[in-house]
Amino acid sequence: MPKTLQEIADFYPIGLSSYGSIEGLELFSSKSIEDRIIDWCYKSQFTKKIAPTIERKIRNGTIVVGYLNDKTTYWFWKKFKNWIHHTVLGNPSLIINGYFSPDDNRIVILLDSNVNILGNAVRYIPNKLVHELVHYAANDNISRFLSVTMNKYLIPYYRTVITEISPNIGLNDSDLKSAIARVTNDNEGLYVNNANVYMSGNTWYKLLMKYKNKQDSLSIMNKMSLPYLMFIVGSAKNKYKNLAYKVMDDYYDGYLHLGFDAEDLTIPGQEFRFPSEVVAIASENDLGNGVASLINST
């Protein structure tokens, strides 16, 4: 076992052992971590409704809360910033990352070596689990995911964002719905991949073309893609930074329209390609009954 992990294991009585891998990287966790998280998820108001599902997935290894070994940590962090389907919780004393790997069909809540899982850190975990479980559920069954979330989250969200970018565009629900379904089907379960970015762009562009001329549609679509390219992939040119921040506000307005302020929860961008991100963020704020049953059906 790597040195720092050994130190963690010595310091906290948690008995770390190997829990297989995610993206080829070995994970470490323990029975006492499992027990602690499960116990907390039953007690937390937030995860009460889905606690038996969380328990089942922790016991069968679908969800792992644990550590990577030291050798791979640096490499992981470097790679991680370009990964999608992840959430980060950071404060000066601890960092917890949630990540869903479509390839391994596994959720990992990755703990920093400073995190004492037997202490306060545990209270941050239920929200992160909900977030990743929404991505898991979308990937598990796209059409079920869309039917539960389309009217309550996705249409109001994307209508707000697009209307903020282009006021008076006047989209109709059924066109918007097919575009959202198309983007979801093209992307869920996939990594950052340029071909898919273009596919999403093309889908939004075709939707916008029904309402605007070619030039305007292209410009709206480019604006929509900007936070994703700037903040998630990091491929947008620096001169677009101010515009990216402006469009980021439009994405935040989408969350305000759903009834909450997402500024402490996320830096928007993934929404351009992954409609499940909208539902993951909204559910991290407040887990509705529909999404809770969706998670419980996985």
The set of residues, in sequence order, having a beta carbon less than 8 Å from that of 190 and lying 6+ positions away, is 102, 196
What token pair was written down for 189?
Answer: 């379960």
Shortest Å, Cβ 131 to Zn ion: 6
Nearer to Zn ion by C-beta: 66 or 275? 275
- Within positions 249 to 288, which residues make up the interface with Zn ion, using CB under 5 A? 277, 280
What is the spatial distance between Cα 182 and Cα 81, in angstroms, rounded to a whole number? 26
Helix axes 125-140, 31-43, angle to 10 degrees: 90
What is the spatial distance between Cα 130 and Cα 276, in angstroms, rounded to a whole number? 12
Judge contact between 19 and 27, C-beta under 8 A: yes
Nearer to Zn ion by C-beta: 232 or 280? 280
Nearer to Zn ion by C-beta: 59 or 79? 79
With CB atoms as reference, the residue minimizing the distance to Zn ion is: 280
Between the alpha carbon of residue 3 and those of residues 73, 112, 243, 279, the distances in Å are: 13, 14, 46, 39
Shortest Å, Cβ 174 to Zn ion: 27
Nearer to Zn ion by C-beta: 207 or 280? 280
Nearer to Zn ion by C-beta: 34 or 277? 277
Nearer to Zn ion by C-beta: 166 or 187? 187
Shortest Å, Cβ 45 to Zn ion: 22
Nearer to Zn ion by C-beta: 44 or 139? 139
Judge contact between 241 and 214, C-beta under 8 A: no
Between the alpha carbon of residue 81 and those of residues 12, 120, 197, 263, 294, the distances in Å are: 29, 26, 17, 19, 28
Task: Residue 146: name the closest of 101, 179, 193, 100 by CA.
Answer: 179
Shortest Å, Cβ 214 to Zn ion: 33
Shortest Å, Cβ 12 to Zn ion: 29
Nearer to Zn ion by C-beta: 171 or 248? 248
Look up residue 212 and give its amino acid.
K
Look up residue 143 and give its amino acid.
S
- Within positions 200 to 239, which residues make up the interface with Zn ion, using CB under 5 A? none
Helix axes 194-209, 173-187, angle to 10 degrees: 170
Shortest Å, Cβ 213 to Zn ion: 34
What token pair was written down for 101?
Answer: 């790997």
Residues in the chain: 298
Shortest Å, Cβ 101 to Zn ion: 12
What SS3 class is residue 96? strand
Look up residue 22 and give its amino acid.
I
Shortest Å, Cβ 198 to Zn ion: 21
N- to C-terminal Cα distance for the chain? 34
Q: Which residues bind Zn ion (CB under 5 A)?
A: 277, 280
